[in-house]
Amino acid sequence: MAEEGKPVEVSRRIEASAARIFEILVSPQRHIEFDGSGMLRGAVFDRPISGVGDAFPMKMNRENRDYLMLNHVVEFEQDRRVFWEPAPGDLLPAGGEPSAVGIPAGYRWGFILTPDGDDATVVTEVFDYGSAPLEIRQAVREGGEWIEAITVSLERLEKICT
């Protein structure tokens, strides 16, 4: 289990430039290719993330239930980092509460890219649940629920890049 209150981070050194990896990360339609959670079903739109303020909806499935998540980009530094805050895109992930649709759920996902030598990059995927409500933190075991999925995502990302 992750340390309580600390973001979950997993890193992997990938033999590819930060620019190459970033190009994949900011293409939501490519996220399904490296998703280690098995929950992604595809992007709604075919356009890359270009900066803070962008939003990209993703089709998801958990426990055989299809739903939509709206991802609001909150950090963007070209070839170095991208973070987004997911928000329920329909009633299912909003717990049936219409007023919760479109409101970020209190956690965020992101990637930090650190160049490491010639044409190699340390990629760190982050799940930060710091301001998530207690029921979300408990449901994901303080982030520990995602360590295996993040590890698989980074392995798949490496295969795409190399």
Three-state SS letters, 88-141: ECCCCCCCCCHHHCCCCCCCEEEEEEEECCCCCEEEEEEEECCCCCHHHHHHCH
Kindly report whether the global pTM for this prediction surpasses the value 0.85: yes
Q: What is the pLDDT of residue 3?
A: 46
Given a contact cutoff of 8 angstroms between Cβ atoms, the answer to whether 107 and 85 are in contact is yes
User: Which tens digits make up the pLDDT trace of 73-120?
Assistant: 999 999 999 999 999 999 988 888 999 899 888 889 999 999 998 899
Query: What is the separation, in whole angstroms, between the first and last Cα of the chain?
Result: 31
**Candidates 3.20.20.70, 3.30.530.20, 3.30.70.3270, 3.40.50.970; CATH matching 8-161:** 3.30.530.20
What is the distance of C-alpha 76 from the center of its chain?
13
In the block, which residue shows the tokens 């075991």? 141
pLDDT over threshold 90, residue 131: no
Q: How does residue 2 score in pLDDT terms, banded at 50, 70 and 90?
A: very low
User: Which tens digits make up the pLDDT trace of 138-157?
Assistant: 655 555 667 889 999 999 99
Q: What is the pLDDT of residue 8?
A: 85
